[in-house]
Amino acid sequence: MSGDKTSTVLDDLFGEAQAERETIVSVLVPVAVPTAYTYKVPAGAHVQPGTIVQVPLGSRQVLGCVWDGAPDAAINPKKLKSISRVYDKARPLLPDLRRFVEWVANWTLAAPGMVLRMVLRSEEALEDEPPLAAVRRIEGAAPDRMTPARAKVLDTLSDGMAWTRSGLAGAAGVSASVIDGLLAQGVLEPVLLPGTPPTPKPDPDFAHVDLTPAQAEVAASLRAAFERGNAVSLIDGVTGSGKTEVYFEAIAEALKRGRQALVLLPEIALTEQFLRRFEKRFGTFPAEWHSEITPKKRARTWRGVASGDVRVVIGARSALFLPFEDLGLIIVDEEHDAAFKQDDRVPYSARDMAVVRGHLSRFPVVLASATPSVESRVNAEQGRYARYVLPERASGAELPEIRAIDMRQEGPERGRWLAPELLKAIAQTFAEGSQSLLFLNRRGYAPLTLCRTCGHRFQCPHCSAWLVEHRFQGRLVCHHCGHFEKMPETCPTCSSTQSLVACGPGVERVAEEVQDLFPQARTLILSSDLPGGAERMKREMKLVEDGEADIVIGTQLVAKGHNFPKMKLVGVVDADLGLAHGDPRAAEKTFQLLAQVTGRAGRVTGGGRGFLQTYSPEHPVLKALLDQDRDAFYRMEIEARQAAGLPPFGRMAALILSGPDKAAAEGFARALVRAAPADRSVTVLGPAEAALAMVRGRHRYRLLLIAPRQFDLQGYLRHWLANGPRPTGALRLQVDIDPQHFL
DNA sequence: AGCACGCCGACT
DNA sequence: GTCGGCGTGCTC
């Protein structure tokens, strides 16, 4: 070509000009600073907004992301450092995700870099996956001696595929040393595989789906929501109504449209059964994402999500920050669950931020629950969410019949905890070969121990809560801070022996009573504090599922999602527990818990029965449960909150003010107090969770404000969001404020 | 003197 | 979030 020489000269000139005028870019770094920092781009490196880089920061190297907007030209050029590495194998973070990071940072009052940190949670994912060491049969080669183990290996390899050493040993049912032997003999050869092949894509048409007319109608509405862009739907269905099947249809629709889908679950324990159901419906497993995933799998999923190889993710709240290539749907299952809230570091509600992410990227979000949160019901009633009700069980089984047992009149004798009527029902259920569940939200043997002689009560030395006796462990335990001590023989105050008495029941004590009265029944305690951890829990849940236990005594973990097909009877040992708490959400939490736990009865078979042992059968929360009238509960609760001056969206309006400057934080607090009318000033108080946060927190001065009805917190926040800058260095919004009104 | 610990500001 | 500098107070 004739222009060869000229273009070379031009290139040189251009290169020189570039070298003289060094390029600088904004880089967001994972530290608590308010803005992106500025770095030089090394010659020859190519970066764009979204590119993931490594940069020097102080004395260390950190991950960062090239950010939007002009770099800060006011920074002293002598201070500027160079990007030390460009991760060109990793996909740049897309604009939608970057906007989401900024939105969450703005909302939670966290530094944007701290939110970015939640995105960059797998350093391994930024490199190409290292090749996998494997073995393959060498055509025609044979071992000197054929043994049964060797034959099994060669048989497994007969399809000509390469296997990993451990995978092959496992598949052939031999030890890995057999494979080493065959390698040494030159029958097998080592090969390198290019990482893991992508998992097969879920097939939206894999299974024949048989929906009830009610389910089909909701499924059709969810499919239609894709046409509306950013619609939020609330599936409000009784326990056993088949919400999962319905939202699976929304996932199928997302897949058919070539979009990715994300399912958020409140806790890891629920993923197991979800995976099985998903596989039945879509023919393959979704990718999993939560804190217990191994680094390798984590990296694979992160990369797969970014490249689009992974189509569906099921995960805990942190999955919300995965770098999806083209996310088209988020499902938030058990949307009422408090586990969606993160209280430390960046304090956010994954349910609310899911709605935000859907809004920013214009895709549908589905919230599902048998007991929706009050705020979601309000959002639905006020037209922000579409609400779909599934009032009946998909199996056709009728809902359990629920009865109150008035403990003032029909209670058990002294020192016993189960009323005669409940015992009779347990005996019947046992006789017909079905399961009973006794629910008591109290771990251990007894919540309080005292001395009969001198009245000494065992109290935690650190937090003034009663110490709970755990008889299996022979300990007194504080459920607040974890402090424990050995159960003493004598009273520490008056030294009397045989004088300590247990007051009130825990699950261990109820189990003792059950074993005493039904010695021939197989009883099982399900409580999170028993030794053996998650593995044991999984085993025992399976035992109950398979009908290997007759009477189960459990704490609140039995209320969550597990399917117990043989469970016919549920007895709530103390239905009043939780109603008396000072927590403004006590009624809601109790309603949800009791509705979920009684919903276990006869879920598959029908004919379930529930009993609530109570001293206050007239309490409106219990009445709503007894009457099977969920709407009555929500009506009552929304009215009660309005009367208490809580905001109409049903959530506590709270601000946590914190910062290094105590005077500034207090000054701002006083300004807030002045802004509220004189008759009901802003109350400055510290509920238990805020107090705990204060003790554990790194900030030195912190103040919790609950704004009463007169204070226009919403208006203030709206103004603040629109007009920046922050009133103090570190003002933190509590996770309980609903972002719906700001979208 | 030597160092553990907590506090505090800086980090581009 | 993490590091380094600095002051305090205690031990070898």
Query: Are A342 and A348 within 8 A, CB to CB?
Result: yes
d(Cα A696, Cα A687) in Å, to the nearest integer?
Answer: 14
Residues in chain A: 743
Does any domain span residue A125? no
Q: Where are the alpha helices (DSSP H) in A452-585?
A: 507-517, 533-545
Number of neighbouring beta carbons within 10 Å of residue A418:
21
Nearest to A138 by CA among A177, A205, A184, A194: A184
Residue A480 lies in a domain: no
With CA atoms as reference, report the closest residue to A42 among A29, A27, A32. A27
pLDDT of res. A648: 44
Q: How far apart are CA A628 and CA A371, in angstroms?
A: 12
Provide the pLDDT for residue A659: 45
Q: Which nucleotide is nearest to A82 (CA to C1')?
A: B12
B10 closest protein residue (CA to C1')? A58
On whether residue A228 sits in a domain, the answer given is: yes
Distance between CA atoms of residues A458 and A189, nearest Å = 68
Q: What is the DSSP letter of A588?
A: H
Is residue A242 within 8 Å of A394, Cβ to Cβ?
yes
Residues A277 and A357 in one domain: yes
Q: Are A333 and A269 in contact (CB under 8 A)?
A: no
Do A332 and A366 meet the contact criterion of CB atoms below 8 Å apart? yes
Token pair for A410: 């029909």
d(CA A206, CA A282): 5
Q: Which two tokens stand for residue A135?
A: 């073995």
Contact between the CB of A343 and strand C at under 7 Å:
no
Alpha carbon distances (Å) from A723 to A106, A111, A658: 12, 17, 20
A118: exposed, middle or buried (Cβ count in 10 Å: 0-12, 13-18, 19+): buried
Q: How far is the CA of A81 from the C1' of B9 (A)?
A: 20
Report the nucleotide nearest the CA of residue A32, measured to C1'.
C1
Task: Give domain status of residue A73, yes or no.
Answer: yes
Pairwise CA distance, residues A111 & A33, whole Å: 6
A347 vs A341, A421, A732, A734, A735, CA distance in Å? 7, 46, 8, 7, 6
What would the two tokens of residue A172 be?
């052939």
> Are A585 and A531 within one domain?
yes
Q: Which nucleotides of B are covered by protein (CB under 7 A)?
A: 8-12
Q: How many CB atoms lie within 10 A of CB A447?
A: 20
* A216-222, Cβ contacts within 8 angstroms, sequence gap of 24 or more: A218/A246, A218/A388, A218/A390, A219/A246, A219/A249, A219/A250, A221/A386, A221/A388, A222/A246, A222/A247, A222/A249, A222/A250, A222/A253, A222/A364, A222/A366, A222/A388
Task: Note whether residue A204 is domain-resident.
Answer: no
Residue A383 Cβ under 7 A from any strand B atom: no
What local confidence, expressed as pLDDT, does residue A144 receive?
Answer: 85
**CATH number of the domain encompassing residue A353:** 3.40.50.300
Q: Give every strand in the sheet of A468-470, ordered side by side.
A: A468-470, A475-477, A484-486
d(CA A663, C1' B6) / Å: 21
Could you say which nucleotides of strand C lie within 7 A of any protein CB atom? 1-4
Q: Which nucleotide is nearest to A59 (CA to C1')?
A: C3
In this structure, the answer to whether residues A625 and A590 fall within a common structural domain is yes
Q: Do A433 and A572 have their domain in common?
A: yes
Q: Which nucleotide is nearest to A40 (CA to C1')?
A: B12
A697 strand C contact, CB < 7 Å: no
Provide the domain limits for residue A153: 132-193
Whether A478 has a binding-site annotation, put simply, is yes
How many Å does it take to go from CA A424 to C1' B9?
69
Q: Which of A471, A438, A649 is nearest to A551 (CA)?
A: A438
- Which residue places its CA closest to the C1' of nucleotide B7? A700
DSSP string of A122-151? -GGGGSPPPPEEEEEEPTT---SS--HHHH
Residues 84-123 of A with CB under 7 A from strand B: none
Same domain flag for A150 and A237: no
Helix (H, G, I), strand (E, B) or coil at A378: helix
Interatomic distance A110 CA / C6 C1' (Å): 29
Q: How far from each other are the two terminal CA atoms of chain A, in whole angstroms?
A: 57
CB A94 within 8 A of CB A50: yes
Half-sphere exposure of A694 (CA within 13 A, CB side): 14
Structure letter (DSSP) for residue A236: E
A79 touches strand B (CB under 7 A): yes
Q: Which of residues 381-420 of A touch strand C (CB under 7 A)?
A: none
Q: Are residues A595 and A670 in the same domain?
A: no
Residues 6+ positions from A726 with CB-CB distance below 8 Å: A109, A720
Answer yes or no: is A39 CB < 7 A from strand B: yes
Q: Are residues A557 and A428 in the same domain?
A: yes
Q: Determine the Cα–Cα distance for residues A340 and A401; give it in Å rounded to an integer.
A: 31
Has residue A491 been placed in a domain? no
Identity at A492, one-letter amino acid code? P
A672: domain CATH number is 3.30.70
- What is the reported pLDDT for A584? 67
CA→C1' distance for A542 and C1 (Å):
41
Tokens of A740: 């719906």
The Cα–Cα gap between A368 and A389 comes to: 10
Q: Which of A519, A534, A110 shows the shortest CA–CA distance to A344?
A: A110
A512: left (phi over 0), alpha (psi -120 to 50) or beta: alpha
On whether both A160 and A284 belong to a single domain, the answer is: no
Q: Which of A640, A673, A688 delimits the end of a domain?
A: A640
HEC per residue, A666-694: HHHHHHHHHHCCCCCCCEECCCHHHHHHH
From the C1' of C4, which residue's alpha carbon is nearest? A59
User: Residue A80 carries which DSSP code?
Assistant: -
- Tell if A75 CB is < 7 Å from nucleic strand B: yes
Q: What is the total count of domains within chain A?
A: 5
* CB A660 within 7 Å, strand B: yes
Which residue type is seen at A262? L
Report which of A102, A127, A96, A99 is spatially closest to residue A114, judged by C-alpha positions. A102
**What is the identity of the amino acid at A286?**
P
pTM attached to this predicted model: 0.85
Below-70 pLDDT ranges, chain A: 1-21, 462-464, 481, 561, 582-584, 644-737, 741-742
Q: Which of A330, A355, A390 delimits the end of a domain?
A: A390
A37 strand B contact, CB < 7 Å: yes
How many Å does it take to go from CA A267 to C1' C8? Answer: 46
Whole-number pLDDT of residue A223: 97
Say yes or no: A406 and A516 in one domain: yes
Strand ranges (E), A577-619: 609-614
Nearest partner of A364 among A177, A556, A183, A228, judged by Cα: A228
Q: How far is CA A428 from CA A200, A301, A572, A601, in A?
A: 49, 50, 17, 14
**C-alpha span between A190 and A162 (Å, rounded):** 9
| pLDDT at residue number A139 | 80
Pairing of strands A730-733, A287-289: unpaired
Q: Is A491 annotated as a binding residue?
A: yes
DSSP bridge partners of A524: A552
Q: Are residues A339 and A267 in contact, defined by beta-carbon separation less than 8 angstroms?
A: yes
Classify strands A609-614 and A567-572 as parallel, antiparallel or unpaired.
parallel
CA of A676 to C1' of B9 (A): 36
Rounded to the nearest 10 degrees, how much is the dihedral formed by the CA atoms of A562, A563, A567, A573?
Answer: 20
**What backbone phi and psi angles, to 5 degrees, belong to A219?**
-55, -40
Both A137 and A100 in one domain: the answer is: no
- Considering the domain architecture, whether residues A111 and A148 belong to the same structural domain is answered as no
Whether residue A396 lies inside any domain: the answer is no
Q: State which H helix or E strand residue A171 sits in.
A: helix A165-172
Boundary of a domain, candidates A623, A640, A657: A640
In this complex, the answer to whether residue A59 has its CB under 7 A from any atom of chain C, a nucleic strand, is yes
In the 8-state DSSP scheme, what is residue A605? Answer: T
CB-based burial label for A474 (10 Å; 0-12, 13-18, 19+):
exposed
Are residues A284 and A335 both part of a single domain?
yes
Given this model, what pLDDT does residue A149 score?
86
**How far, rounded to the nearest angstrom, does the alpha carbon of residue A18 sit from its chain's CA centroid?**
48
Is A65 one of the annotated binding-site residues? Answer: no
Residue A454 annotated as part of some ligand binding site: yes
A390 CA vs B6 C1’ separation (Å): 57
Integer CA distances (angstroms), A693 to A257, A355, A394, A697, A727, in order: 44, 26, 43, 5, 22
Task: Identify each DSSP E strand in A258-371 by its residue range.
Answer: 260-264, 287-289, 312-315, 327-333, 365-369
Distance CA A449, CA A503 (A): 6
Domain-embedded: residue A308: yes
Residues A459-512: tens digit of each pLDDT:
877 666 789 999 988 999 988 767 788 999 999 999 999 999 999 999 999 999
